Amino acid sequence: MKILLVVYDNEMYINVFPTGLGYIAAVLKKSGFDVEIYNQDLHHYPEEHLTRYLDKHHFDMVGLGTIGGYFQYKKLLKISEAVNKSKNRPFYVLGGHGPSPEPEYFLKKTGADAIVIGEGEETIVELAKALAAKRSINNLDGIAFMERGKAVVNQRRPLIKDLDLIPFPAYELFPMYFYRLLREPHCASGDFVAPMISGRGCSFRCAFCYRMDEGLRCRSTEGIIEEIKMLKTNYGITYISFFDELLISSIKRTTELCEGFIRAGLNIRWTCNGRLNYAKPKVLQLMKKAGCVFINYGIEALDDEVLRAMNKCLTVEQIVKGIEATLKEEISPGFNVIFGNIGDNKNTLQQAVDFLLKYDDGAQLRTIRPVTPYPGSPLYYYALKNGLLKDCADFYENKHINSDLLAVNFTDMSDKEFHKALYDANQKLIKNYFKNKTKTSLDEARRLYMELNVNFRGFRQT
């Protein structure tokens, strides 16, 4: 049985290694299936190329995973059209955060034969085995499929309890020489970067966040270290970007992980996502010692009522204390702020701008984006209930046209006032960023010419 897994083109200079698809490829390969990766991202192939490729080569199954971004949605429709056009069309399966919460809509819209809902490793193997044996797929847990023009959504499959039982992503099938060029905050010119996940899920339930699978599961420290060592040896990786929602899921867990990294002498730099309620001096010191250079924090808002309304389980006091502690340990904080949550107004936006200007360390251009009620999130159901959204089609086809523009307005401001307020806020942040950049570049020029800095490597180095 031959399976083609498609990595869609994000149309960016460099794409992120598709971890989810890497896991899917690994379990299929381990189960004895013949897996090939189609890298639309690497070659920027037009969609017709995929149709021709499928026409020329025989595959029994073609798979694609997407998230629910507006860009990814449009891309998914184009790729689906390309698959459906092929004279040799294989069984077409979708997965990921995009289709999972609304499988019925995605089946009808894309013409896919099945959707794997949520965590995909066990379901895809069961599906492939059933197809290979020409057995019915109708009773498989964790899938949705079409039957006589109607979408059938089967019950969810229980989550994999022990994440250490899942093999590492099948890196060997992907062009790692390309993906390792990813740039992340504070990585050096010579660093090779790889994303990794240290666990799955999150123990919180913020209103705007779509949680595909319930709860939080962590990988063992030993398993993580083994994968890092393999990435260092096989692909020269020197910098790891932990992409899972919550590496800092507790002080105990973070301490264990950092002590493990130090004991193993990994000597890598790394970044992760974290929660400010756990950002305490002792654990931050240890993180720094273990190589952490950047922590991406979900701040979202600088107003306690807005934070409460979104069920963030954070206070402004915790945010300020956590950011100050992080900066004190000389770890760069990533500030993710969203505007337009229930209770937001011009004053709360101003508080966010003041905060971002006060604590900016120049590591990233920080702008504020509107909140988006992604399907499956509590905010999406709130929007449906309150008539702000009609349905999934309304979200994808009419409202979610660009993630920097309003999809649904949850504030008392008009849409025009909302965009003007965001423009004013982001104008200040952009000006501040470039003012600091100008200053650092001029400082470098002064050191070069006035102090004859022989270590200077050029203004255009990245």
Q: Please, what is the minimum distance in Å from the beta carbon of residue 311 to ligand SF4?
A: 8
Q: Which does 298 bind (CB under 5 to 8 A by kind): ligand B12, ligand SF4, none?
A: ligand SF4
Q: Please, what is the minimum distance in Å from the beta carbon of residue 378 to ligand SF4?
A: 10
Q: Which does 284 bind (CB under 5 to 8 A by kind): ligand B12, ligand SF4, none?
A: none
DSSP string for 244-312:
STTS-S-HHHHHHHHHHHHHTT---EEEEEE-GGG--HHHHHHHHHTTEEEEEEEEE-S-HHHHHHTT-
**Residue 68 binds ligand B12 (CB under 6 A):** yes
Using alpha carbons, list the distances in angstroms from residue 196 to 11, 74, 225, 302. 22, 27, 11, 30
Residue of 280, 267, 288 whose CA lies nearest to 330? 288
What part of residues 74-133 is at the interface with ligand B12 (CB under 6 A)? 93, 95-98, 116, 119-121, 124
Residue of 416, 399, 417, 396 whose CA lies nearest to 408? 399
Strand 150-153 to 199-201 pairing: unpaired
Q: Which does 10 bind (CB under 5 to 8 A by kind): ligand B12, ligand SF4, none?
A: ligand B12
What part of residues 9-38 is at the interface with ligand B12 (CB under 6 A)? 10, 16, 18-21, 23-24
Q: Are 127 and 27 in contact (CB under 8 A)?
A: no
Q: Please, what is the minimum distance in Å from the beta carbon of residue 80 to ligand B12?
A: 13
Q: Which does 65 bind (CB under 5 to 8 A by kind): ligand SF4, ligand B12, none?
A: ligand B12
Q: Which does 205 bind (CB under 5 to 8 A by kind): ligand SF4, ligand B12, none?
A: ligand SF4
- Non-local (6+) Cβ contacts of 378 within 8 A are 205, 207, 208, 311
Of the pair 127, 163, the CB lying nearest ligand SF4 is at 163
Q: Please, what is the minimum distance in Å from the beta carbon of residue 143 to ligand SF4?
A: 25
Q: What is the largest CA-CA distance in the chain?
A: 78
Strand 199-201 to 369-370 pairing: unpaired
Measured distance CA(288)–CA(455) in Å, rounded:
26
The helix (H) or strand (E) run that includes residue 41 is helix 40-43
Q: How many residues does the chain have?
A: 462
Per CB under 6 A, the list member of 64, 182, 284, 302 interacting with ligand B12 is 64
Q: Are 200 and 216 in contact (CB under 8 A)?
A: yes
Q: Are 82 and 115 in contact (CB under 8 A)?
A: no
Per CB under 6 A, the list member of 374, 395, 396, 418 interacting with ligand B12 is 374
Q: Please, what is the minimum distance in Å from the beta carbon of residue 303 to ligand SF4?
A: 17
Q: Please, what is the minimum distance in Å from the beta carbon of residue 131 to ligand SF4?
A: 34
Strand 193-196 to 150-153 pairing: unpaired
Residue of 231, 328, 242, 239 whose CA lies nearest to 279? 328
Q: Which does 206 bind (CB under 5 to 8 A by kind): ligand SF4, ligand B12, none?
A: ligand SF4
Give the ranges where 329-414 is alpha helix by DSSP (H).
346-359, 378-385, 392-393
Q: Please, what is the minimum distance in Å from the beta carbon of residue 201 to ligand B12?
A: 7
Can you tell me which residue has the tokens 């965590």?
119
Q: Please, what is the minimum distance in Å from the beta carbon of residue 190 to ligand SF4?
A: 32
First-residue to last-residue Cα distance in the chain = 44
Of the pair 100, 254, the CB lying nearest ligand B12 is at 100
Of the pair 312, 400, the CB lying nearest ligand SF4 is at 312
Q: Which residues bind ligand SF4 (CB under 6 A)?
A: 202, 204-206, 209, 245-246, 275, 298
Q: Which does 54 bind (CB under 5 to 8 A by kind): ligand B12, ligand SF4, none?
A: none
Q: Which does 204 bind (CB under 5 to 8 A by kind): ligand B12, ligand SF4, none?
A: ligand SF4
Q: Please, what is the minimum distance in Å from the beta carbon of residue 315 to ligand B12?
A: 22
Of the pair 90, 375, the CB lying nearest ligand B12 is at 375
**Residues at the site binding ligand B12, with contacts judged by CB under 6 A:** 10, 16, 18-21, 23-24, 63-65, 67-69, 71, 93, 95-98, 116, 119-121, 124, 197, 209-210, 243, 245, 372, 374-376, 403
